[in-house]
Chain A
Amino acid sequence: MDINVPHRRTAHAAVIGLLVLCSFSALPVLAAEMSVGASVGAVASGETFEAVVSLDTQGETVNAAEGTLTYPQDMLEPLAIRDADASIDFWAVRPKIGVPGAIAFSGVAPGGFKSDEARLFEVTFRAKQDGRAAIGLTGAEALLNDGQGTAAALSTRAFTITVLPEPPQALTPAPAPTPVTAPQDMTPPEAFMPTVVKNEQPYGNRWFLVFAAQDKQSGIDRYEVREAPSGMPAALSPWVAAESPYLLRDQTRKSRVEVKAIDRSGNVRVASVTTAAPEAWYVWLLIWLMAVTVFAVVDRRFLTRLPRKRR
């Protein structure tokens, strides 16, 4: 009996310690949470669903977030990404389909945001194979708008969807593949203002272009830039795919620069940049006059060399 006393005390102490530990661990931990969610918990193979990546800032003001969305590539196929109307204003790494099984993202919102459900982006997946598919997040990070880039305490929550086998074809006709349609968007991206900058970074004191457009419906799909020499029809210059920052080809800044923002529904907004020093009109008049004169002279010489018909 005497021996048992210390054991009991030890046991009591352990229980109390455990209770204390449990009570502490039961305290609410105010950590922001980055999560993946969907409106459905199960789909049939061949069907599509939307997975939404969102952030609950738990009352903190967050101005930057990044991470990588992971999914089993043998079970799920990403078809489209929508980042319109997201809480991130500028992407350093725009979420896009490319690397199998992973979609990386990284971006900021100047001034920050505070929300219990800040949407970052959503992915349309097609289920390929039956089973349980886990969509998770790795390397997730959310930073506070405190001027120091302090990392917010962050937890992540994955989402698992059940993919049911396709119904037997003998019993029911095979369902037509679900068409993936972009949201109905007839509105072009919002007006934006590209800026031409000359700076040591990142292109060694050369002129470059920065731009960012917004589209609240379907989101920006891509940008194209055109540099048309001053005085020449713009249609003669090709549009080229571009990202901001974009190093200008014409460092004299005499070209007319246009930026085309194209949303995921194909709507287009074009913004132009005023050239710094376009050629004066009389310069182009002179050039055209010279060209006409040269042509006339050449033409006359050519004509004079033609054999004349004998009468």
Chain B
Amino acid sequence: MIGTALTDLWYGFGVALEPHNLMFCFIGVLVGNMVGVLPGMGPLATISILLPLTFGMKPVAAILMLGGVMYGAQYGGAICSILLNLPCHPPHAVTCLDGFPMTKQGRGGVALGLTVFASFVGASWGITEMIFLSPLLVRAALQFGPAEVCSLMLLGLLAGSTLARGSPIKGVAMTVLGLFLGSVGTDLETGSERYTLGMTELDDGIELIALALGLFGIAEFMNSVNQVAPINTKYTNVTFKDMRPTKADMKRAFFPMWRGTIIGSLCALIPGTGPTIASFVAYATEKKISRHPEKFGTGLIEGVVCPEAATHSSVQGDFIPTMSLGIPGDAVMALLLGALMIQGIVPGPQLISQHPDIFWGLVASFWIGNIMLVLLNVPLIGIWVKMLAIPYKFLYPSAMFFVCIGVYAANNDFFQVGEVAAIGLFGYVLLRLGFHPAPILLGFVLGPRFEENFRRAMLIARGDMLVFIERPISAFFVGMCVLLIGSQIYLRLKGAKAAELNVDDDAPIAAPAEPKIPVQLANQRVPVTPAE
């Protein structure tokens, strides 16, 4: 089995090293890194902006590039949090805690250097996990009938909405809304129109790009406009020379790095727990087992490398359920899956055997991309640091143009541009009401497939709902769902003690609420139930 995996991997390198695939992988990680550095732009907005550009590409090149944006942004985000104390992306919020004090002590370069290294280790582990676990998962998943697929999707949706940010019940409401939005348009089985309100442009359903750009582009811009604090570039003079760690630093960072990696890879296996939770859990664990927990927050290298390694290993690991089962764990993965579907590729367990070039090319490109990122980040750190100074007032108007032209180019139709504006306004209202729109995308992408499988399962079972608990595998998934809901209710009732489960005290949650953070992060409270 290891033999076949290695042969496939070898083939994947062949695909990923084709010159034009290599080029798009490079563009992806470059743009991702750039966006990760820029405060106020997230990977979700960037991937949605780049999505229309990939329509003309081959599927392999498209997915390599979009994947590159995703993990490239994680590298860039670390720079932002360590040097500026700005957690541009939620997974890096805990990195600020010890990263920024290190910067103040003049050791920001060392923190960055070791972060890049730890990230690479974490990512490599995640990729290895993907190589060996995906084929196993696929073998199991090929036995699934519609009932199993259906209950697995249910589990994925529930986990994605309850374990993500903010209130679990609001997350579930967003998922339901997303499932509904996915059903707008022509019903595939009967051909009748649903919820089109007489607009023929909606016959094909709501455009994925318009939804993503409205929710993560326009709504976010409305949220952050005039709220992003000017950036303090006092500490940003980092050069290549500053990045070399001392031997003592390396020694201290070694074990935390591996612990972070393992935690991240475990978190990746639980559906719905993305890099954000992984990094919080990693930081909390590291603090707990440390011999001097009181020093955390004063610039300990352990507090930087452990969450960063966890983030990266979980980011790569998140691709496992997405690519092998077709069940995305979070909104970014849902978007990547949507990109594949636009290219006409059906996600699911058959993807690896039907499109080995996509799967193995992607895996191989992860490694190539991560090496590129190390090369990009270490010697060129000076350039990235300069980019931190680009003000938001230039950023968001330019991004608005990309949003408009992007949705226009999807169908060459102005209707979608209006659609994106409407969705943006709606998304902002949701944001203000304390909803987090990410699960909408999850529900939207899975919606049509969920409905299809649900109908099929009911047809086979002659309308007997009990089929979901009569078939053992399906019953297992349903049981997990019940467990998930039960634990949420239990945690809710236990109130204050709930936070203990994920984060041992308020520090990691409280700290990102320091004044300098762009507003959109303020309502992205991270793990399960927040402390009351």
Asked if A and B bind, the verdict is no
Chain B positions near chain A (C-beta within 8 angstroms):
none
Chain A positions near chain B (C-beta within 8 angstroms):
none
